[in-house]
Amino acid sequence: MSRIGKQPVEAPKGVEIKVNGQTVEAKGPKGLRSFTCPSEVTVSLEDGAITVKPADESKRARQMWGMSRTQVANCVTGVSDGFQKKLEITGVGYRAAVQGKVLKLSLGYSHDVDFKIPEGIEVKTPKPTEIEVSGIDQQLVGQVAANIREWRKPEPYKGKGIRYSDEYIFRKEGKKK
């Protein structure tokens, strides 16, 4: 029994929700998102809230129930508030700067890394050592942040590299004489 799937998805002020068959469309101040639910679940709009229920009692229907409800909730949250990931750069000479639709990263390589920012994602650098990735698609925001972090993962000895702002790096002790 899905505890998450039982909860209805409420629409905040300024968000318009439409259900057309298995497709849920959310339109808000930040943009438009849609999600097509799998055939194992039924979607209905009741009193301004979306409810997701399994079509039958199969294991697959129960698996899709909670996932579909969460995806619909993410669409609604994305168009109303949006999603954001913060990254921090640690290391001498490591820095980032946004130039147009390209994020320029200086990460200790012999060349600068040019990361092309995908459509629908906004990247800001309030400081040269901070990166903020934001957008309305949670999956895309997380993937872009992970791709940026992949260029120089934090290492455990000095902690140099790109890390999430809420990430803890387990530090190791170096060699002893």
Confidence of residue 177 (pLDDT cuts 50, 70, 90): confident
* DSSP-assigned letters across all residues of the chain: --HHHHS-EEPPTT-EEEEETTEEEEEETTEEEEEE--TTEEEEEETTEEEEEESSS-HHHHHHHHHHHHHHHHHHHHHHT-EEEEEEEESTT-EEEEETTEEEEE-SSSS-EEEEPPTTEEEE-SSTTEEEEEES-HHHHHHHHHHHHHTSPPPTTT--EEEETT--PPP------
The segment(s) of the chain belonging to CATH 3.90.930.12 are: 3-80, 83-164
For domain 83-164, give the CATH superfamily: Ribosomal protein L6 (3.90.930.12)
CATH topology of domain 3-80: Outer Surface Protein A; domain 3 (3.90.930)
Confidence of residue 1 (pLDDT cuts 50, 70, 90): low
pLDDT of residue 46: 86
Residue 57 CA to its chain's centroid (Å): 31
Q: What is the pTM of this model?
A: 0.87
Paired strand residues for 138: none
Confidence of residue 112 (pLDDT cuts 50, 70, 90): very high
Q: pLDDT by residue (tens digit) across 40-93?
A: 999 998 888 899 999 888 899 988 998 999 999 999 999 999 999 999 999 999
